[in-house]
């Protein structure tokens, strides 16, 4: 029997056409079928679902929940899912779905393109093919398919604005690089018993608590930047530090502002501003002075994974200690512990 695949469209450049105001997403999922080679179209029984048509700059927590709900409610019916999505916030959506749908035993592949699919020379058709190739591999869970690579969803980051190789797998090898036939991981053994959506993901509505701030430290930053964060009512804060995890600790006004955060019941995550390799604030005195904040180290997580994981964890519990424990765990392969 043919495998059943559902294509969900959400907009992005892959679906764009020119308008007098610039590119706008207009194509529906049906348009993408034309780019699949006959072999792939024939191998699968493909259904279509148009969820929304947005530039992904406008895709946020409520859309993540909408996509996750669309997947959960059809999970038992299909063998695999392909989501077409804008590239700008694809890594956030991929990370959020990785946490919502952790433990998924079916492939959930997200792709998009740097150029509209119907423009000659677009990367869209190739990316759609890469996404479909995932359905032959045995890999499961949320993945990003881009420029010949399959990347674990919560490890993907957009690093280039217009080159076709826009995405990289951060701090772990890609699952597969189809262009070089490079296999970073072995596909997992198939799970013995198929599990239903309800068994895997429960029935609670998907939700995140978006009261999370992102603060990138820079030389000369005024302490008011930190004070403002404290006044915004955030429950969580991700602080991007210098190098391996250092803060301008000689600046007493900044340190005081930072220490004032400890009076709030806030979960603080520290990570490096560097894209590659893990952070560790314990090496330099300039990092260790943050210890009073009880920061949780993001280690080698991407910013996108940190932000969505913290939002997800905060929605799971009102108890800060429980949130801290949940955040520190490896949920979907986003962190090397
Ligand atoms: N602005 C577009 C979007 O994210 C960019 C793209 O899809 O490549 O929707």
> Is 312 part of any domain?
yes
Boundary-marking domain end, from 201, 225, 251 = 201
Beta carbons of 248 and 217 less than 8 angstroms apart: yes
Q: List pLDDT tens digits, range 111-140.
A: 999 999 999 999 999 999 999 999 999 999
Q: pLDDT at residue 182 above 80?
A: no
Length of the chain, in residues: 337
Residue 183's closest CA among 192, 174, 191? 174
> Is 284 part of any domain?
yes
State the Cα–Cα distance between residues 81 and 124, nearest whole angstrom. Answer: 17
Q: Which residues pair with 212 in a beta bridge?
A: 236
Percent of the chain with pLDDT over 70: 99
Please count the structural domains in the chain. 2
- Best residue among 19, 56, 92, 146 to mutate for probing ligand 1's pocket (most ligand atoms within 8 Å of CB) is 56
pLDDT at 38: 93
Tell me: do 183 and 292 sit in the same domain.
Answer: no
Residue 54's closest CA among 39, 44, 40, 64? 64
| Closest residue CA from atom 7 of ligand 1 | 86
State the Cα–Cα distance between residues 266 and 141, nearest whole angstrom. Answer: 31
Tell me: do 150 and 220 sit in the same domain.
Answer: no
Pairing relation of β-strands 176-177 and 182-183? Answer: antiparallel
User: What is the widest separation between alpha-carbon atoms in the chain?
Assistant: 68
> Is 206 part of any domain?
no
Q: How far is the centre of ligand 1, averaged over its atoms, from the C-alpha of 250 (Å)?
A: 41
Tell me: do 191 and 324 sit in the same domain.
Answer: no
Q: How far is the centre of ligand 1, averaged over its atoms, from the C-alpha of 199 (Å)?
A: 34
Q: pLDDT at residue 47 above 80?
A: yes
Boundary-marking domain end, from 142, 176, 201 = 201
State the Cα–Cα distance between residues 86 and 114, nearest whole angstrom. Answer: 9
| Residues ≥6 apart with Cβ < 8 Å to 115 | 13, 121, 122, 123, 124
> Is 336 part of any domain?
no
Tell me: do 27 and 102 sit in the same domain.
Answer: yes
Domain span including residue 44: 3-201
Q: How far is the centre of ligand 1, averaged over its atoms, from the C-alpha of 326 (Å)?
A: 32
Q: Which residues line ligand 1 (CB under 6 A)?
A: 12-13, 55-57, 86-88, 112, 114
Tell me: do 86 and 39 sit in the same domain.
Answer: yes
Residue 306's closest CA among 249, 243, 261, 241? 241
User: How far is the first Cα of the chain from the last one, in angstroms, to the nearest whole number?
Assistant: 40
> Is 182 part of any domain?
yes
Q: pLDDT at residue 13 above 80?
A: yes
Q: List pLDDT tens digits, range 188-213.
A: 777 777 799 999 999 999 999 999 99
Tell me: do 25 and 137 sit in the same domain.
Answer: yes
Tell me: do 240 and 194 sit in the same domain.
Answer: no
- Best residue among 10, 11, 12, 119 to mutate for probing ligand 1's pocket (most ligand atoms within 8 Å of CB) is 12
Q: How far is the centre of ligand 1, averaged over its atoms, from the C-alpha of 11 (Å)?
A: 8
Q: pLDDT at residue 170 above 80?
A: yes
Tell me: do 181 and 82 sit in the same domain.
Answer: yes
Pairing relation of β-strands 267-272 and 236-241? Answer: parallel
Q: How much helix, strand and coil, in percent to the nearest 5, is found in the chain? A: 35, 25, 40
pLDDT at 279: 94
pLDDT at 337: 82
Tell me: do 188 and 232 sit in the same domain.
Answer: no
State the Cα–Cα distance between residues 303 and 109, nearest whole angstrom. Answer: 20
Is 13 catalytic? The answer is: yes
Q: pLDDT class for 145, splitting at 50, 70, 90?
A: very high
> Is 33 part of any domain?
yes
Tell me: do 64 and 146 sit in the same domain.
Answer: yes
Q: pLDDT at residue 328 above 80?
A: yes
DSSP 187-242: PPPPPSS---HHHHH-SSPP-----EEEEE--TT--THHHHHHHHTT-SEEEEEEB
At 255, which CATH number? 3.40.50.40
Tell me: do 234 and 121 sit in the same domain.
Answer: no
DSSP 131-190: HHHGGGT---EEEEEETTEEEEGGGEEE--SSSS--EEE-SS--SEETTTTEESSPPPPP
pLDDT at 285: 86
SS3 assignment, position 15: helix
> Is 110 part of any domain?
yes
Boundary-marking domain end, from 145, 169, 201 = 201
Tell me: do 88 and 194 sit in the same domain.
Answer: yes
Q: Which residues pair with 241 in a beta bridge?
A: 272
State the Cα–Cα distance between residues 224 and 206, nearest whole angstrom. Answer: 34
> Is 207 part of any domain?
no
- The chain-wide mean pLDDT, for the chain, equals 95
Q: List pLDDT tens digits, range 58-114.
A: 999 999 999 999 999 999 999 999 999 999 999 999 999 999 999 999 999 999 999
Q: pLDDT at residue 229 above 90?
A: no
């Amino acid at each position: 029997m043919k495998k059943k695949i559902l294509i969900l469209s959400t907009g992005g450049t892959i679906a764009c056409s020119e308008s007098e105001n610039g590119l706008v997403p207009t194509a529906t999922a049906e348009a993408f079928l034309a780019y699949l080679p006959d072999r792939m179209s024939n191998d699968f029984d493909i259904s279509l679902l148009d969820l929304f048509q947005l530039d992904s700059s406008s895709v946020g927590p409520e859309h993540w929940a909408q996509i996750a709900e669309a997947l959960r409610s059809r999970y038992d019916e299909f063998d695999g899912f392909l989501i077409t999505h804008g590239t700008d916030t694809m890594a956030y959506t991929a990370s959020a779905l990785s946490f919502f749908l952790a433990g998924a035993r079916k492939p959930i592949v997200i792709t998009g393109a740097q150029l509209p699919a119907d423009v000659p020379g677009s990367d869209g058709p190739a990316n759609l093919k890469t996404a479909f190739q995932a359905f032959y591999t045995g890999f499961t869970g949320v993945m990003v398919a881009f420029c010949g690579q399959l990347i674990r969803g919560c490890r993907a980051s957009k690093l280039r604005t217009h080159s076709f190789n826009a995405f990289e797998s951060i701090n772990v090898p890609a699952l597969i690089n189809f262009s070089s036939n490079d296999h970073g991981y072995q596909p997992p053994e198939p799970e013995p018993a198929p599990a239903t959506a309800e068994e895997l993901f429960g029935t609670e509505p998907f939700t995140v608590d978006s009261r999370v701030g992102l603060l990138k430290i820079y030389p000369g930053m005024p302490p008011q930047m930190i004070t403002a964060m404290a006044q915004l009512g955030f429950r969580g804060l991700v602080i991007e530090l210098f190098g391996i995890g250092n803060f301008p600790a000689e600046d007493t006004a900044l340190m005081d502002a930072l220490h004032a955060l400890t009076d709030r019941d806030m979960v603080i995550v520290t990570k490096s501003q560097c894209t590659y390799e893990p952070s560790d604030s314990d090496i330099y005195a300039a990092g260790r002075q943050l210890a009073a904040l009880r920061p949780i180290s993001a280690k080698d997580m991407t910013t996108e994974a940190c932000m969505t994981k913290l939002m997800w964890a905060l929605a799971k519990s009102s108890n800060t200690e429980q949130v801290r424990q949940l955040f520190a765990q490896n949920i979907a392969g986003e962190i090397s512990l």
